[in-house]
Amino acid sequence: MTHCLSVLVQTPAHSQMAGALSYRSELAFPAGTLVRVPLGKREVLGVVWDAPDGAAAQQIAPEKLRALAGPLEGLTPLTPAWRQLITFAAGYYQRSLGEVALAALPPQLRDLSTVQLGRRLKRNAKTSTQDDTNCAKGEDLAVLTPEQTLALQRFDAEPGPFLLFGATGSGKTEVYLRCVARLLTAEPQAQAMVMVPEINLTPQLEARFMARFNPLFGEHAVVSLHSGMSPAQRLKSWLAAHSGAARIVLGTRMAVFASLPRLRLIIVDEEHDPSYKSGEGARYSARDLAVYRGRLEGAKVLLGSATPSLESWHHSRPTQEGGRYLRLEMPSRIGAAATLPLVRRVDMNHQSKRCVIAPPLLAALAQRVTCGEQSLVFLNRRGYAPVLHCSDCDWKSECPHCSAYRVFHKIDRTLRCHHCGYTERVPRACPACGNPDITAMGRGTERLEEHLAELLADVRRPNSVSDQWPQGEPVRIARIDADSTRLKGELAAQLARVHAGEVDVLVGTQMIAKGHDFRRITLVAAINADSALFSSDFRAPERLFSLLMQAAGRAGRDADISGHSEMWLQTFHPQHPLFEALKRHDYPAFAAGQLAERAQAALPPFSFQALVRAEARTQDIAQGFLCAASAGAANMADGAALLQHISLYPAVPMSMQRVANVERAQMLIESPSRAALQRFLTAWQAVLHVTRQQAEGKGLLRWAIDVDPLLI
């Protein structure tokens, strides 16, 4: 008997071939089966999806269908819950089913033959045994604080979802470990997912989880999933999770789509972090999908942060006020003497014009060095200087391909665009007028590291026995940013030096401002704290407050030294309400003020937004496409009714207008109702496709819809 099967394949974004394709098969494979199918002249990976309705199936003559090449033997079908997650994500974020489903699978799975896959499965096959006695012992590894105990009791007693609002150093990670341990002990086959926002936070969390759970549940109980892994490593972790051999999956946002057939717990650490929102392809929010997946599969969901996103904070208000999350609070640091760092503000209006490090801050840094303590100097801008400038003709190091300046990197003497990657050697003289005196404007982490070495040249480390430096060794300064950690393993090596006490002053970007457990740092300094105070982006104050509070949390994490830990802020606006709240470590007050402003302006979370972005060789084409699609919205079926609940704003250039010689424009769509916005976007898809084929779409390179955007 011949069967007609619907199969999802990887299709280009916004392709007219967005749905499932029909194939002929001698066997009726169940939905979720991974198969190989012919597509054009290639053979590609596909997923058997729900069968088409009877009427559609009868209209297709089996002999006109191409035959299915065969299944990937040895793999169980993907679960109905996983398929429903993909269906929801594709619908909500306005992408095709095949694009989302195939992107969620490991890339190497598409290229392996049946024989190769069989070898991988045989290699990964193992028996997993549990020792209940050891599990019980694992619960006694650390003494919990009363706040941790109460949080765990409420987590066990209530269904959630939960928002764990805990100060930096309050022991949120230990709560995560206990939640996972209790689950795995109570349910022999259960699985847990733990998500972190960035790849560089994965190794230290992985080490803690492996140390806790591998002795109890086997060597392969904990696996990682993130884009920094090789294709073979990702496939191995995915197969372990799909088979149930891996009990715990640690990963970045891509892990939210991992196949976990017995998922019972999802933990999202640093849930406020923008990295959970994808910036390309299906622009999904992994945090929001984690909450949906937990409800879909009956798994508990725990979101954790010291500075929750305003959306999550709003959702965790009291139930009688419409809150959807249960808030668990841990406001105190671990240790009887542990305190949050004292926040000091340095008014830069009282310093000399060219001052980079204020004298009081410099003295504090020197004092920490002489006491054998560590300091962290935070500047969220890499490179030596953001711009090279000629004072004679006003030439600046603009990128010829982007609406941005090329950054000066002194180490390799290059001008590098951080958007398109265009790089060239630093010119000996001004390319415009020939003036040899071109200067660096502003400063990045490279220049700050160099400047600190000059300022602290006379300071010596204590307890030195070196014959070369009888009065003590010079200050050791290290820099951690995307440039200094480009080589594989370099980040881990540099962090190990910091933890071992080989570094006195650590200079870095946001890579080191969050998530790391530095036990010896007692002073954190933010050099350019005003960077986002007056941004046009309404989310900028929220991101700035979170980043500064997370950076402050790196100081005094050891209870023995937390009593004299400090954070210094260099600012031209010391009385700004954001800094007032930061000085008190009062996130609730900051959130209340921000939510009140957003409510008055009808901004998220009190409204819902989407962006349509268009890219073309000229700005006129990009904006013309968006304007034509906006005009066509009124002519679609039920257009007038849908537009009653929608605000369509004019098309404008993006804040970064040109990248790699591609002009970019966007249009904002807003609605007080999420459902109304979704209905409009779904109906408007057809208009966008039609507009793309018309004269207004000629020359357009691509377009994309971004639902719940973070950058506007």
The fourth-level CATH superfamily of domain 342-382+444-600 is P-loop containing nucleotide triphosphate hydrolases (3.40.50.300)
Average pLDDT, the chain: 88
Q: Are 382 and 444 in contact (CB under 8 A)?
A: yes
Across 57-66, 117-126, 318-327, 700-709, the highest mean pLDDT is recorded for 700-709
Closest C-alpha among 318, 341, 399 to residue 550: 341
pLDDT at residue 557 in the model: 80
By mean pLDDT, which of 1-10, 220-229, 241-250, 329-338 is the weakest? 329-338
CA distance 543 to 121: 44
CA distance 379 to 376: 10
Check pLDDT > 60 for residue 133. no
For residue 259, CA distances in Å to 20, 112, 255, 486, 640 come to: 20, 18, 9, 31, 42
Check pLDDT > 50 for residue 127. no
DSSP run (H or E) holding 599: helix 587-601
pLDDT tens-digit map of 164-202: 999 888 889 999 999 999 999 899 899 999 999 988 788
pLDDT at residue 130 in the model: 40
Check pLDDT > 70 for residue 695. yes
Q: Treating both helix axes as pointing N-terminal to C-terminal, what angle do 202-217 and 172-186 enclose, rounded to 10 degrees?
A: 30
Across 42-46, 220-224, 290-294, the highest mean pLDDT is recorded for 290-294
Q: Band the pLDDT of 468: cuts 50, 70, 90.
A: low
Closest C-alpha among 599, 703, 614, 684 to residue 651: 614
pLDDT at residue 582 in the model: 94
By mean pLDDT, which of 36-45, 125-134, 585-594 is the weakest? 125-134
pLDDT tens-digit map of 396-449: 999 999 999 999 999 889 999 999 999 999 999 999 999 988 999 989 999 999
**Mean pLDDT, rounded, for 649-665:** 95
Check pLDDT > 90 for residue 22. no
Check pLDDT > 70 for residue 126. no
pLDDT tens-digit map of 541-562: 999 999 999 999 888 887 777 7
CA distance 359 to 380: 21
pLDDT at residue 128 in the model: 42
Is pLDDT larger for residue 116 or for residue 316? 316
Domains 132-330 and 342-382+444-600 share a fold: yes
Q: Are 556 and 338 in contact (CB under 8 A)?
A: yes
pLDDT at residue 389 in the model: 93
In this prediction the pTM is 0.91
Check pLDDT > 80 for residue 598. yes
Q: Band the pLDDT of 466: cuts 50, 70, 90.
A: very low
pLDDT at residue 55 in the model: 43
pLDDT at residue 431 in the model: 92
pLDDT tens-digit map of 245-302: 899 999 999 999 999 999 999 999 999 999 999 988 889 999 999 999 999 999 999 9
Check pLDDT > 80 for residue 472. no
**Mean pLDDT, rounded, for 610-619:** 95
Check pLDDT > 80 for residue 463. no
Q: Is the CATH number of domain 132-330 3.30.300.30?
A: no
pLDDT at residue 634 in the model: 85
Closest C-alpha among 533, 175, 554, 180 to residue 341: 554
pLDDT tens-digit map of 384-395: 999 999 988 999
By mean pLDDT, which of 273-282, 446-455, 532-541, 634-643 is the weakest? 634-643
Q: Are 612 and 629 in contact (CB under 8 A)?
A: yes
Is pLDDT larger for residue 65 or for residue 707? 707
Burial of 163-193, coded b for 16+ CB within 10 Å and e otherwise, reads bbbbbbbbbbbbbbbbbbbbbbbeeeebbbb
pLDDT at residue 14 in the model: 60
Instruction: Parse the chain into domains and list their residue ranges.
Output: 3-105, 132-330, 342-382+444-600, 385-442, 608-707
Backbone angles phi, psi at 118, to 5 degrees: -60, -40
pLDDT at residue 368 in the model: 92
Check pLDDT > 80 for residue 697. yes
Q: Where are the beta strands (DSSP E) in 452-557?
A: 477-480, 505-508, 521-526
Portion of the chain with pLDDT greater than 90, in percent: 58
pLDDT at residue 146 in the model: 92
Q: Are 78 and 86 in contact (CB under 8 A)?
A: no
Check pLDDT > 60 for residue 57. no
Q: Are 408 and 397 in contact (CB under 8 A)?
A: yes
User: Which sign does the torsion angle of CA 73, 76, 77, 78 carry?
Assistant: negative
pLDDT at residue 137 in the model: 43
Q: Any idea what the Cα angle at residue 708 is, between residues 704 and 712, rounded to 5°?
A: 75
Domain 608-707 class, CATH top level: alpha beta
pLDDT at residue 337 in the model: 60
Is pLDDT larger for residue 577 or for residue 133? 577
The two structure tokens encoding residue 209: 């989880």
Q: Is the CATH number of domain 3-105 3.40.1440.60?
A: yes
